């Protein structure tokens, strides 16, 4: 019988339970431990989520039975917790961003390399089957030379002045919000699908709500809980609600991305359009099982997710037949399948198919250059 791999999840906000649910859908993986900011909360959440053991982070690291640690805490904890887990000999799956400072990310890349442990950053949007299908089609020459790229990632969960989350606080999330939080997914996906590298950026940010009303009671991401007027205090906001970034790529061509968390009605809409010399690809995360393929001299095409119509590289990410929709929760499951195959081998692969700490470092570097560009109001090289 195949030995079960044992995992711990650190943090139980929006994304921690998403990791848990994905892991429970994979064979021979057991989430045996949960960590929170204190042992009382850890016990409460462990009981709620059906996880057998509750720990403080430090106590969890001492448990030799735990093979993999999933870091699902606020951004400012990612570096210290990932480093401690690696030094304790654990494989690590970290939420993005990998760290809040480029030097910290560099250190994590180096430690992971020295230890040879499996390391991954949760850029799960790569794992929509249609995303890998686009990548494979491009690799097989069906897109042609890439002329330009247009991308956007729009949400509305911070639309109101009363919308509040720890991501609005730079000491917890870093100096960027919209770009670092959701723009990092879009930029990672852009380079992943196209095979191009961003070489220069020109950015412009805007903060719609200069102040926000911070709840005096704790609320969780996407919880939708309603509070009274007396439950708020007014606080200044120093991170961007909206950002537009012009891009230059290493093939000499151009692109742009727009990221916003204040677009009413856009719940979680990543859209990317890649114009090539043979075709034009357009894909939207809110319609993840569809790909529009634009043509000039023949009819346009509309590809629906169906493993029998996909290249084998993309079909590997599909668990159900055509017409059976798969979505956001499936992306983490498909990513963890690849990560845990490496864990079973006991080491980081030479050429990982999953996003690694090096990919996390790359996105942090781009993000820092975008922040620098906004501050200087000038083009900045990556």
How does pLDDT run across 216-260, given as a tens digit for each residue? 876 655 455 566 777 889 999 999 999 999 999 999 999 999 999
Q: Per residue in 195-224, pLDDT tens?
A: 999 999 999 999 999 999 998 876 655 455
pLDDT, position 2: 75
Supply angle C-alpha 189, 191, 196, rounded to 5: 160
pLDDT, position 71: 98
Rounded Cα–Cα distance for residues 284 and 136 (Å): 17
Rounded Cα–Cα distance for residues 47 and 121 (Å): 27
Beta-ladder partners of 321: none
pLDDT, position 224: 56
Map residue 337 onto helix, strand or coil.
Answer: helix
**Which residues lie below 8 Å from residue 70, measured CB to CB, with a gap of 6+?**
7, 8, 9, 10, 16, 19, 23, 92, 93, 94
Q: Which of 130, 124, 255 is nearest to 197 (CA)?
A: 255
Q: How long a stretch of residues is the chain? A: 382
pLDDT, position 228: 72
Is the pLDDT confidence value at 382 over 80? yes
Q: Per residue in 29-62, pLDDT tens?
A: 999 999 999 999 999 999 999 999 999 999 999 9
Map residue 358 onto helix, strand or coil.
Answer: helix
Number of other residues whose CB lies within 10 A of the CB of residue 48: 11
pLDDT, position 343: 98
Please state, rounded to an integer, the average pLDDT across all residues of the chain. 95
Q: What does the pLDDT average to over 13-26?
A: 96
Rounded Cα–Cα distance for residues 219 and 107 (Å): 33
**Which residues lie below 8 Å from residue 279, measured CB to CB, with a gap of 6+?**
142, 143, 144, 293, 294, 295
Beta-ladder partners of 215: 232
Map residue 169 onto helix, strand or coil.
Answer: coil
Q: Which of 249, 145, 273, 143 is nearest to 200 (CA)?
A: 249
Is the pLDDT confidence value at 320 over 90? yes
Is the pLDDT confidence value at 115 over 90? yes
Q: Per residue in 116-175, pLDDT tens?
A: 999 999 999 999 999 999 999 999 999 999 999 999 999 999 999 999 988 999 888 888
How far from 138 is each of 92, 275, 347, CA to CA, in Å? 31, 11, 30
pLDDT, position 232: 86
Four-residue CA torsion sign, 211, 219, 93, 121: negative
């Amino acid at each position: 019988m195949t030995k079960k791999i044992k995992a711990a999840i650190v943090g139980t906000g929006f994304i921690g339970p998403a990791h848990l649910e994905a892991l429970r859908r994979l064979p021979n993986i057991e989430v045996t431990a949960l960590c929170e900011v204190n042992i009382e909360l850890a016990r409460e959440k462990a009981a709620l989520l059906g996880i057998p053991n509750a720990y403080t982070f430090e106590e969890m690291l001492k448990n030799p039975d735990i093979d993999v640690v999933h870091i699902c805490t606020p951004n400012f904890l990612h570096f210290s917790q990932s480093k401690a887990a690696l030094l304790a000999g654990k494989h690590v799956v970290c939420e993005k961003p990998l760290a809040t400072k480029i030097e910290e990310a560099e250190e994590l890349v180096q430690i992971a390399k020295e230890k040879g442990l499996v390391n991954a950053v949760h850029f799960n949007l790569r794992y929509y089957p249609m995303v890998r299908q686009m990548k494979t089609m491009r690799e097989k020459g069906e897109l042609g030379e890439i002329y330009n790229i247009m991308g956007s990632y729009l949400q509305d969960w911070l639309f109101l002045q009363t919308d509040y989350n720890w991501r609005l606080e730079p000491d917890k999330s870093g100096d960027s919000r919209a770009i670092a939080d959701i723009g990092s997914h879009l930029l990672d996906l852009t380079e992943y699908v196209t095979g191009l590298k961003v070489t220069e950026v020109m950015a412009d940010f805007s903060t719609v709500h200069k102040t926000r009303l911070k709840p005096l009671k704790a609320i969780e991401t996407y919880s939708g809980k309603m509070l009274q007027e007396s439950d708020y205090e007014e606080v200044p906001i120093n991170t961007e609600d909206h950002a537009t970034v012009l891009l230059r790529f290493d093939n000499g061509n151009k692109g742009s991305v727009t990221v916003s968390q204040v677009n009413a009605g856009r719940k979680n809409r990543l859209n990317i359009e890649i114009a090539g010399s043979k075709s034009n690809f357009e894909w939207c995360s809110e319609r993840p099982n569809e790909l529009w393929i634009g043509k000039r001299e023949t009819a346009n095409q509309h590809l629906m997710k169906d493993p029998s119509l996909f290249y084998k590289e993309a079909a590997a990410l599909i668990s159900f037949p055509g017409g059976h929709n798969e979505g956001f929760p499936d992306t983490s499951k498909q990513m963890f399948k690849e990560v845990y195959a490496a864990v079973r081998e006991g080491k980081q692969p030479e050429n990982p198919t999953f996003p690694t700490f090096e990919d996390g470092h790359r996105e942090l570097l781009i993000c820092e250059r975008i922040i620098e560009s906004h501050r200087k109001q000038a083009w900045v090289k990556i």
